């Protein structure tokens, strides 16, 4: 077997390296990323959900409750965006035909608030400040604590 082989060519069993660097660290896209940067990536508007899923699925951050909290909170913030975009906005536009003249204003205001929350969280995380958003922070706390047990 070679130094970088992870599986036996004959039986397919996983081979454990004895002190040699593992080849998986080169193929792991988040192996060299800091906890702060991983948390920061989870709040990128519109795209942070991808980083949040990668962080939650990675072995590297499996025991880092702070990074997992930010990944869950970023994911829930994106879900809030989807709810406003796919549910609230269409409901308000139906109501707009019934005499409510500011139907686009309500959905746009909610979307603006979520966008501002993304930016605020990016600033807070970049300064190593832990901030819990109302409601979403409680959900993220609950998700992290459920995974520990």
- CA neighbor of 73 nearest in space, from 88, 87, 94, 55: 55
Domain limits of the chain? 1-32, 33-148
pLDDT at 22: 47
Helices 65-83 and 136-148: angle between axes, nearest 10 degrees? 130
- In tens digits, the chain (149 residues) has pLDDT values of 566 667 776 776 777 655 444 444 556 667 789 999 999 999 999 999 999 999 999 999 999 999 999 999 999 999 999 999 999 888 877 765 555 555 567 778 999 999 999 999 999 999 999 999 999 999 999 999 998 76
Q: What global pTM score does this model have?
A: 0.75
In Å, the largest CA–CA distance within the chain is 74
Matching residue, tokens 């949040």: 52
- CA neighbor of 63 nearest in space, from 149, 5, 148: 148
């Amino acid at each position: 077997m070679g130094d970088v082989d992870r599986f036996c060519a004959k039986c397919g069993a996983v081979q454990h390296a004895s002190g040699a660097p593992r080849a998986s660290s080169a193929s792991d896209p988040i192996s060299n990323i800091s906890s702060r940067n991983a948390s920061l990536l989870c709040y990128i508007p519109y795209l942070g959900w991808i980083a949040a899923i990668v962080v939650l699925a990675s072995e590297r951050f499996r025991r880092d409750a702070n990074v997992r909290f930010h990944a869950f909170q970023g994911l829930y913030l994106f879900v809030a965006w989807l709810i406003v975009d796919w549910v609230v906005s269409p409901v308000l536009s139906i109501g707009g035909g019934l005499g409510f003249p500011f139907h686009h204003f309500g959905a746009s205001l909610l979307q603006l608030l979520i966008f501002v929350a993304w930016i605020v969280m990016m600033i807070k995380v970049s300064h190593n400040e832990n901030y819990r958003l109302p409601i979403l922070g409680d959900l993220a706390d609950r998700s992290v604590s459920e995974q520990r047990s």
